[in-house]
Amino acid sequence: MPFVQSLSARRRAGFTLIELLVVIAIIAVLVGLLVPAVQKVRSAAAAAESKNNLKQIGLAVANADASFGKMPMMFGQYASSEAGSFWYNILPQLEQEGLFKQGVNASRSAKLKVLQAPSDTTYKTGQFELTNAMEAWYGSNTATLPTGNPVPAWATGGTTWGMTSYAANWMVFGDRATPLNTTLLDGTSNTLIIAEHYASCRRPSGLPRSGTLLWGYGVQPGVASDPVPLKGKQWVWDALDSGVPWATLQTHLINAPYWARAIWVNNPNPVAASTAYPYPPSSKPWRCRCHRKPEFGPAVDNSHPFKEQGYGSSINVAMGDGSVRSLSSGITDEGWYYLASPDEGEVNLDN
């Protein structure tokens, strides 16, 4: 009898099936509540890290300007005996002096943590194989994409390039080094200089069909082999002001979607300053004022190589004064252009 009582007591000490199901249900509810909270924390941490990267890059630009009396250009000879990209030229200010000393060709395959946004799922390995037969970055949109050779003549001995999740504002840096304060006449706090951008973009239609931001990429826009009237122009704005046909720009490597460059042409229109465009009339030449606001959280296989991308409902940008701002998806084409243009005499701080 005592044995029977002991066995019965042990049985009563366990969980019934109903009790077990209740516990499982409670755990499932708690997990359901916890996962979004964890994801939110991770997202906030990723955004904070990206903002920190942008802060470092903004300070690097300011330090370079203070050291040399001018900002680096998108591509050209700046702080070295050889011409290099904007990103190469600020390597010393990003604590990458050793990489800088390797030179533009040897350094271009490196992966830099400061150039990776944690939320950029397109960054992947951080390296891209650029061959001399890629999808064309110019031309008509045909069923069979033509191929072209986007490799600069100076890049030899390998096909591997390092990628970046950030793009420099072409309207600010151009291809001729100029002082920060005299270039950003709209105010350093009113002009964005660096923006987040998918490291790699691809879309099902339209040209360019794809593009990848290579931090070491670039070519000088005015070399002797260029066609007239681009020939000899060392500042691409000068070339545009002198009436270079769009067809000429299309066939030049300055139009290749491999630059780590923001605010580039994504809708060529020579009457950008007219009433047919959302931007106000300007007394200045066209200068490719035909930009569009960023895409916000687009699918990785449907993103525009010549637009910037926010990783969610906002995009982080570095301003000329070294500050970092988050711009919401509600920003308009016009508002984005106001922040991107350095000297058009307009300011829009509503977004």
Q: What is the pLDDT along the chain (351 residues), one digit of tens a residue?
A: 455 555 455 555 566 888 788 888 888 888 877 777 667 767 788 999 999 999 999 999 999 999 999 999 999 999 889 999 999 999 999 999 999 999 999 999 999 999 999 999 999 999 999 998 887 765 444 556 777 889 999 999 999 999 999 999 988 998 888 999 999 999 999 999 999 999 999 998 877 889 999 999 998 876 666 666 666 666 555 655 555 666 666 677 888 899 999 887 665 544 444 444 445 555 555 555 567 889 999 999 999 998 999 999 999 999 999 999 999 999 988 788 889 888 878 776 554
Strand partners, 75: 85
Task: Report the alpha-carbon distance of residue 311 to residue 334 in Å, rounded.
Answer: 21
Q: Which two tokens stand for residue 215?
A: 């931090």
* Strand residues in the chain grouped as ranges (E): 75-76, 84-85, 127-129, 134-135, 147-148, 160-162, 166-169, 192-196, 200-202, 210-212, 261-262, 295-296, 309-310, 314-319, 324-328
Tally of residues, the chain: 351
Residue entry with tokens 């066209």: 286
Listed in sequence order, the DSSP H helices in the chain are 2-13, 17-68, 86-89, 97-101, 104-107, 170-173, 180-183, 236-241, 246-250, 333-340
* pLDDT at residue number 139: 47
* pLDDT at residue number 232: 64
Task: Report the alpha-carbon distance of residue 341 to residue 186 in Å, rounded.
Answer: 8
Nearest residue to 294 via CA among 307, 311, 277, 312:
307
What secondary structure letter does DSSP report for 72? P
Other C-beta atoms lying within 10 Å of the C-beta of residue 234: 14
* pLDDT at residue number 267: 55
As separate numbers, helices (DSSP H) first and strands (DSSP E) second, the chain gives 10, 15
Q: Tell me the HSE value of 104 on the side-chain side, using a 13 A CA sphere.
A: 27
